[in-house]
Amino acid sequence: MSDTKISLPLGRAIYPSLKTADTKFHDLGIYKCNVSVPVKEATSAMEKLSAIHKQHTGKAPVKADNSMWKMEVDEETGEDTGNVIFKCSVKNVRRRDGELWDRRPKQFDAKMNPVNLDPSGGTELYVSAAIYAWDAGGKKGVSLQPQAIQIINLVERGGASADAFGFQEHSGGFEAEASNFSFGDTNETTVKEEDFEDF
């Protein structure tokens, strides 16, 4: 288990799964929030992670692609975009007592209010992640597990904006109340490894 955290610089979400866990490769679900950040803004975080990786594994991570980040390449041209994509994902796990530990990252808006949204790719956000140094099957590595996000500019999944449908703002009409979503205990951080069957 990791006791180290990192706050990544403001970036753009890449295929996130933050409201509903992705079950394509893991039956219990995986929450993901890969984030694309300009290399210049990402350098400090990369240096910190490189130092932790070297301390844990005995060697520096491969710069172009490793368990913590990869350099972003334009899908059409194959050229570097000048950005780095931090890889952030965390698996739900089954406790030994049979209960599911849902590790959905907490969400906050730009004013630090808790929210319950479904951000899509392109959302601008900050990610707070646990730095997980692992040792499995004779291999060692370091991974980033998202614990919370702060949404600065939201692109909601399947959610074209109201003006895209030709609507305009009207004064004096119905206005939805601000979200007051409460989290409960869905993102515990202090646990014992023996509490789980599979981590």
The pLDDT of residue 186 is: 44
d(CA 101, CA 197): 11
pLDDT for the residue 108:
97
Of the chain, the percentage scoring pLDDT greater than 90 comes to 74
- Rounded to whole angstroms, the Cα distance separating 175 from 38 reads 37
Supply the pLDDT for residue 48.
97
- The pLDDT mean for the chain works out to 86
pTM: 0.78
The confidence band for 157, taking pLDDT boundaries of 50, 70 and 90, is confident
Q: Give the model's confidence band at 191: pLDDT under 50 very low, under 70 low, under 90 confident, else very high.
A: very low
pLDDT digits (tens, 9 = 90+) for 30-50: 999 999 999 999 999 999 999
Q: Which tens digits make up the pLDDT trace of 60-118?
A: 999 999 999 999 999 899 999 999 999 999 999 999 999 999 999 999 999 999 999 99
Alpha carbon 67 to chain centroid, angstroms: 14
SS3 state at 165: helix
**pLDDT of 43:** 97
Q: Name every residue whose Cβ is closer than 8 Å to that of residue 173 and which is 6 or more positions away in sequence.
A: none
| pLDDT for res 138 | 87
Residues 10, 106: Cα–Cα separation, whole Å: 17
pLDDT value at 166 more than 80: no
- Give the span between the Cα atoms of 129 and 91, in whole angstroms: 13
Q: Check: CB of residue 17 under 8 Å from CB of residue 31.
A: yes
Q: Which two tokens stand for residue 3?
A: 């006791």
Q: For the chain, first and last CA: distance in Å?
A: 10
Three-state DSSP class for residue 40: helix
Region 128-144: what's the mean pLDDT? 94
What is the chain's length? 199
Range of weakest confidence among 24-33, 84-93, 156-165, 167-176: 156-165
pLDDT number for residue 197: 42
